[in-house]
Amino acid sequence: MNHDTIAAIATAPGRGGVGVIRISGSNLLPFALALTGKTPKPRYATLADFKAADNATVDSGILLFFPNPHSFTGEDVLELQGHGGPVVMQMLLARCLDLGARLAEPGEFSRRAFLNGKMDLAQAEAVADLIDAATTSAARSAVRSLQGEFSRAISELNEELINLRMLVEATLDFPEEDIDFLQAANAFGRLERLQLKLAEIFDRAGQGKLLQAGLHVVLAGQPNVGKSSLLNRLTGDDLAIVTPIAGTTRDALRSTIQIEGIPLHIIDTAGLRETDDEVEKIGIARSWQEIERSDVVLLLVDARSGVGAADREILARLPERLQRITVYNKIDLAGREPERHDEADGIAISLSAKANQGIDLLRQELLRIAGWHQAEDVFIARERHLRALAEAQEHVAAARDVVESRLPALELFAEELRLAQQSLGQITGEFTADDLLGVIFSRFCIGK
């Protein structure tokens, strides 16, 4: 591991009352003395002038010193709290670099904390997830993961796997012992409990990923079916211009709302139709690009005319993987009531965006498609966590198949348990390649 001294501005770019520069390395007291002329007392706020090489004052503020190993990174850490102007922060950072520090890479402070055993990989990722949280629910879930709840749940699963592997390995090492392993160790019962716990944690982690990433929803359809009105109704704001003139929306409009704490990234697109207008053609092309990237497509149609040939052409072009909801808008003009019903092309919702009828039916359907249900103690999670949990589930299921076979092969049974444990270890970083660490921490902000 590289033990050189690193420094970075830890506060967000822009003007502010306070700006923070973080420094991490070994034996930083001489660094603090050269910068301020003072030797700070550990974990006490020291008022200091931050000096340039010619002893001119760059800024005045608070100096904090956290000696290793009792710091965020596990190394000596200095925090300089000065005035939050971008120019003064850059001047102070330049002085730190002159004193021998180098500019920290994105996520390097958190990476050092992980490598020094201050937190596991899931906790380190929760730091970035907490910073990036778009909703209150996501922030609370990230705090739970940062405090180690997710890691403890994974650790408990690992302990059960280790205990079961110990029994299997003992049987393999001493085949002369008359041990009916499958009966004495209750292997089937242990595996069943493991599967249930894995399924529970997978569900909680899946809900956490949904809180983090949200759902991308595209409003599509022909011109003048009410896409912009529905966007305005869902967001509670007049984001889109609404007129009876076809082709008013020329480009995609984006907004994020929350339903039960889940971010829904809603995109209003240009009306999908044949047109000679070159600008509108560009907007329609972009609409199809947004549809390709989305999770859910709401195909809006006029409730008075229903699904026509042009709408069926749109449905036929939609990617198979996409969830789709046909939204019959303007039911107030058609004399219909709000309802949800099944159709050949999927789910349909009848509503009126203008009259605010049936909007809650749409919200609930979006939650259902997202797979959301109320769950306590949700873990913030990432796609790689879910993949690792899914792999562990597959290996435990394979081990169970071995147990249930007429001629169980204990070597194969032991190998599946080992692979399940290795998959779980990828979550906390017990079994993680260096290249994966590089990818993970490179996505952090500088200063964290």
pLDDT confidence of residue 440: 59
Structural domains in the chain, sorted by start: 6-118 (3.30.1360.120), 127-210+382-429 (1.20.120.430), 214-370 (3.40.50.300)
| Residue 425 contacts residue 431 (beta carbons within 8 Å) | yes
Residue 360 carries which DSSP code? H
pLDDT confidence of residue 248: 40
284-307 confidence digits (pLDDT tens):
666 666 767 778 888 888 989 888
Structure tokens belonging to residue 122: 């899931």
Beta-carbon count within 10 A of 445 CB:
15
Helix 410-428 to helix 121-132 angle, to the nearest 10 degrees? 40
Residue 81 has pLDDT above 90, yes or no: yes
Looking at residues 351-379, what average pLDDT do you find?
A: 82
Give me the percent of the chain exceeding a pLDDT of 70: 80
Comparing C-alpha atoms, which of 310, 354, 347, 104 is closest to residue 221? 310
- 17 vs 85: CA distance, rounded Å: 8
Comparing C-alpha atoms, which of 360, 335, 363, 340 is closest to residue 350? 340
Comparing C-alpha atoms, which of 78, 138, 135 is closest to residue 104? 78
- 79 vs 88: CA distance, rounded Å: 15
Three-class secondary structure assignment of 150-170: HHHHHHHHHHHHHHHHHHHHH
Give me the percent of the chain exceeding a pLDDT of 90: 29
- 447 vs 77: CA distance, rounded Å: 12
92-119 confidence digits (pLDDT tens):
999 999 999 999 998 899 889 988 989 8
- 406 vs 155: CA distance, rounded Å: 32
- 374 vs 351: CA distance, rounded Å: 25
Q: Hey, which bits of 187-275 come out as E strands? A: 215-221, 253-259, 262-268
Amino acid residing at 221 = G
Beta-carbon contacts of 83 under 8 Å, excluding residues fewer than 6 positions away, are 17, 18, 19, 59, 61
Side-by-side strand order, sheet with 323-329: 253-259, 262-268, 215-221, 296-302, 323-329, 346-350, 339-343
pLDDT confidence of residue 242: 38
Question: For the ranges 120-129, 161-170, 241-250, which has the lowest average pLDDT?
Answer: 241-250
- 339 vs 349: CA distance, rounded Å: 6
Beta-carbon contacts of 432 under 8 Å, excluding residues fewer than 6 positions away, are 121, 425, 426
Residue 178 has pLDDT above 50, yes or no: no
- 78 vs 21: CA distance, rounded Å: 8
